[in-house]
Amino acid sequence: MPDKENDIVGYIYGDVGSTEFNFVVNGQDIRKFDYVFAPHKEGSILAQVMDIRQHSDLRFDNATSMMRSGGEVQAINTSLSAYAEVVGYRDKKGLLQSPRSPFSAGTAIMRANEDLIRHVLGLNASKENGAYIGLLKGHDLKVYLNIDALVQKHICILAKTGGGKSYACGVLIEELLKHKIPMVIIDTHGEYHSLSKPNKNRKDLKNMERFGIKARDYSGQINEYSPIGSKGNIKHLTLNGVNLEAREIIELLSAKLSGPQIGVLYQAIKEVKEYKNLYTLRDIIDAVGRSKSNARWNVIAALESLDSIGVFSENGTPTTEIVKKGKCSTINMKGVPPDVQDVVVARLTKELFDDRKLGKIPPFLLIVEEAHNYCPERGFGNAVSGNILRTVASEGRKFGMGLCIVSQRPAKVDKNIISQCNTNIILKVTNPNDLKAIINSVEGLTNQTYREIQRLPIGVALISGAGLQMPVMTEIRTRETSHGGKSVEITGIEIENIQPKIPKTPAPPPLIQTNPDVQPKPVQKTSNVTEKAIRVARVANRLGWINTEDPDEAIKTLTREAEKMNENVYKYLESLAMLGQNYCHETNPLCIKCPMNKSCKYRATIGTQKKGLLSFRR
């Protein structure tokens, strides 16, 4: 610690407490947010300068006289005083403690050295295990955030529009890429495409020397996806739309279904499951359409709306492709309608969370830009993705799925999610509602901090958590890659007003028409049909009602016939299935006991064959 006379920056004066003090400043080199060392009988105390004031002997009468005399300068004596808040000291166990007795007036205050600052603030992370986020405000001291604390627990990055939240998030992503941390970014505005391009801004290149970094790109680690199709290096993102359960569909619907409507949906899926091992949204829609309930129309409309999004597929993009060791996958939502974005985030997050729980994908970090759109606070709108994001915030840590939310409107983000974030990167915020939301949700912030957040310069952040013992002011370092979220200059640019269109879901293929004059070739059973469907096809074939041995085609044909006869499709198929189970076995059928034996072509054929065999024997 400092022990030289010229290291003394001032002396404590006035009424003194144990958590704060005032000191007269010796010289002009002390600044706001500087850290100082205050000797105390309990230990080496670290304090931070929170305010500086200049005092003078110029009074109102003297200033008035100067105005009357035309600004004639008088001799003015000035002095500086500073207000400091105590950070604390480390005890023998390494725990951060605050003094329990007041400081002594007249105590010399010295500038704190880097070792003391690191020791007390807990800046113990290094280049090997930390993310270099920037420099400690007022010091050339690098701030590293603990990687494990960042990924294992959750992060929130909050700022007003233009406050630098996306820039700070880009810096964090660069550091995590260096440490090969898998990430998935919900890129609402398509601004993280620039991670594959080095920073060539002249001003930034000069600042890099100060932060000790160099321009580079991470193109080899970036995979980009879009729900509206592939283009260039952007791959088409599709979601698994096979075997969706009723509860999953209900969670994805923006319009809530009533009790009878939910019943129709559950019944339709139950019927489809009995005849298909693999079914799609289109199969569910067809099954709902066969229902006799008047509630089916609203259900069909809701399902058609969900299907028209065009992102559900029988072969969805596997999560093992999206989450890979050392890779970052960005989901580019630029040009995607908000309601489609909501569904994509909800379903994708659900798939990632389920597969992470099963260990199919490695631990990773999910970054959600414009989080207020996907997990809004109550009273600020509804989002179908809100429930799953709340689940990830509360349970994701146990399964190795970290969450990072980025928002310009903290007041509109679900408070339960913000409160679950252990690492907080807060840049300039001025809206009173947003400030109130931050203070109420983030631990360790004081009234003094409340005021400072409003005055933060652009590029300076208040960071808490991630191994830090208390919130610290940090100057965010320059980005190594190009910043894709910078404001667009209006003069001298060409604006492309071309919005990509959402592809329509292709119509289902027409049913194959059978020709009674042509004998069909035997079709092998596929995994997409159940044993029940096979029994129905067998019975219908033997009765002579159909002329195909493909169970899937048989179900479609029988469904059309039942609808023509105004029969309940489910009961119609069920009666055939029961015949196949009880009488019409594949081998040794009980034709004599079967109630349909008089009209059964199969029995008639077997009877004819037996008669011919008997005649031959005679």
Given a cut of 50, whether residue 483 has pLDDT beyond it is yes
Boundary residue ending a domain (74, 95, 121) = 121
Examine the domain organization and report whether 183 and 332 are in the same domain.
yes
Examine the domain organization and report whether 107 and 187 are in the same domain.
no
Alpha-carbon distance 453 to 456, whole Å? 5
Examine the domain organization and report whether 211 and 326 are in the same domain.
yes
Residue 99: CB atoms within 10 Å: 18
Q: How sure is the predictor about 444, in pLDDT bands with cuts at 50, 70 and 90?
A: low
Q: Residue 547: inside a domain, yes or no? A: yes
The residue ranking higher by pLDDT, 27 or 161, is 161
Calculate mean pLDDT across residues 91-102. 87
425 and 156 in contact (C-beta within 8 Å)?
A: yes
Q: Residue 500: inside a domain, yes or no? A: no
Residue 355: CB atoms within 10 Å: 17
Boundary residue ending a domain (412, 442, 476) = 476
Question: In this structure, what CATH number is given to the domain that contains residue 218?
Answer: 3.40.50.300
Given a cut of 80, whether residue 69 has pLDDT beyond it is no
What pLDDT was estimated at residue 183? Answer: 95
Given a cut of 60, whether residue 492 has pLDDT beyond it is no
Q: Residue 197: inside a domain, yes or no? A: yes
Alpha-carbon distance 529 to 540, whole Å? 16
Residue 464: CB atoms within 10 Å: 20
Examine the domain organization and report whether 202 and 54 are in the same domain.
no
What pLDDT was estimated at residue 447? Answer: 67
What pLDDT was estimated at residue 95? Answer: 85
The residue ranking higher by pLDDT, 379 or 526, is 379
Return all residues near 202 (Cβ < 8 A) that are at least 6 apart.
Answer: none
Examine the domain organization and report whether 98 and 35 are in the same domain.
yes
Q: Residue 452: inside a domain, yes or no? A: yes
Nearest CA to 380 out of 409, 405, 401 is that of 409
Nearest CA to 131 out of 115, 151, 111 is that of 151
Examine the domain organization and report whether 175 and 260 are in the same domain.
no
Name the residue range of residue 405's domain. Answer: 130-237+317-476
Examine the domain organization and report whether 93 and 18 are in the same domain.
yes
Q: What is the pLDDT of residues 175-207, one digit of tens each?
A: 999 999 999 999 998 889 889 999 998 898 988
Q: What is the pLDDT of residues 385-417, one digit of tens each?
A: 999 999 999 999 889 999 999 999 988 999 889
The residue ranking higher by pLDDT, 303 or 618, is 303
Please tell me what DSSP assigns to residue 307.
Answer: H
Strand partners, 225: 235, 331
Q: How sure is the predictor about 611, in pLDDT bands with cuts at 50, 70 and 90?
A: low
The residue ranking higher by pLDDT, 464 or 405, is 405
What pLDDT was estimated at residue 28? Answer: 67
Residue with tokens 């890659």: 481
Q: What is the pLDDT of residues 140-173, one digit of tens each?
A: 888 988 888 888 889 999 998 888 889 999 999 9
What pLDDT was estimated at residue 610? Answer: 54
What pLDDT was estimated at residue 137? Answer: 85
Given a cut of 90, whether residue 347 has pLDDT beyond it is yes
Calculate mean pLDDT across residues 278-289. 91
Nearest CA to 169 out of 192, 146, 193 is that of 192
Boundary residue ending a domain (476, 493, 517) = 476
Given a cut of 80, whether residue 466 has pLDDT beyond it is no
Given a cut of 50, whether residue 517 has pLDDT beyond it is no
Given a cut of 80, whether residue 126 has pLDDT beyond it is no
Examine the domain organization and report whether 210 and 359 are in the same domain.
yes
Domains identified in the chain, total number: 4
189 and 335 in contact (C-beta within 8 Å)?
A: no
Given a cut of 50, whether residue 86 has pLDDT beyond it is yes
What pLDDT was estimated at residue 6? Answer: 52
Examine the domain organization and report whether 200 and 302 are in the same domain.
no
CB-count burial class (<10 Å; 0-12, 13-18, 19+) for 326? middle
Q: Residue 372: inside a domain, yes or no? A: yes
Q: Residue 512: inside a domain, yes or no? A: no
Examine the domain organization and report whether 292 and 330 are in the same domain.
no
What pLDDT was estimated at residue 612? Answer: 52
Question: In this structure, what CATH number is given to the domain that contains residue 568?
Answer: 1.10.1670.10
What pLDDT was estimated at residue 446? Answer: 67
DSSP helix, strand, coil percent of the chain (3-state; round to 5) = 40, 20, 40
What pLDDT was estimated at residue 486? Answer: 63
557 and 520 in contact (C-beta within 8 Å)?
A: no
Calculate mean pLDDT across residues 86-92. 88
Nearest CA to 415 out of 158, 149, 163, 186 is that of 158
Alpha-carbon distance 401 to 323, whole Å? 11
Please tell me the least confidently modeled range out of 254-268, 410-424, 597-611.
Answer: 597-611
What pLDDT was estimated at residue 218? Answer: 93
Calculate mean pLDDT across residues 572-597. 87
Given a cut of 50, whether residue 63 has pLDDT beyond it is yes
Q: How sure is the predictor about 525, in pLDDT bands with cuts at 50, 70 and 90?
A: very low
Alpha-carbon distance 300 to 297, whole Å? 5
What pLDDT was estimated at residue 331? Answer: 95
| Tokens found for residue 399 | 């399964």
Residue 65: CB atoms within 10 Å: 12
Please tell me the least confidently modeled range out of 99-113, 127-141, 166-180.
Answer: 127-141
Return all residues near 6 (Cβ < 8 A) that are at least 6 apart.
Answer: none
Residue with tokens 């440490």: 179
Q: How sure is the predictor about 583, in pLDDT bands with cuts at 50, 70 and 90?
A: confident
Examine the domain organization and report whether 322 and 463 are in the same domain.
yes
Q: pLDDT above 90 covers what percent of the chain?
A: 34
Q: What is the pLDDT of residues 215-242, one digit of tens each?
A: 999 999 999 999 988 888 899 999 998 9
Q: How sure is the predictor about 509, in pLDDT bands with cuts at 50, 70 and 90?
A: very low
Alpha-carbon distance 1 to 20, whole Å? 20
Q: Residue 481: inside a domain, yes or no? A: no
Examine the domain organization and report whether 157 and 231 are in the same domain.
yes
Do β-strands 108-111 and 8-13 pair in parallel, antiparallel, or remain unpaired? Answer: antiparallel
Calculate mean pLDDT across residues 584-588. 88
Calculate mean pLDDT across residues 47-58. 87
Please tell me the least confidently modeled range out of 47-51, 167-171, 175-179, 330-334.
Answer: 47-51
**Backbone φ and ψ of 30, nearest 5°:** -95, 140
Alpha-carbon distance 397 to 123, whole Å? 23
Number of H helices and number of E strands within the chain? 19, 21
Sequence-ordered strand ranges (E) for 333-376: 364-368
Please tell me the least confidently modeled range out of 93-97, 275-279, 302-306.
Answer: 93-97
User: DSSP string of 34-89?
Assistant: -EEEEEETTEEEEEEEEEEEEEES--HHHHHHHHHTTS------EEEEEEEEEEEE
The residue ranking higher by pLDDT, 257 or 74, is 257
Q: Residue 508: inside a domain, yes or no? A: no
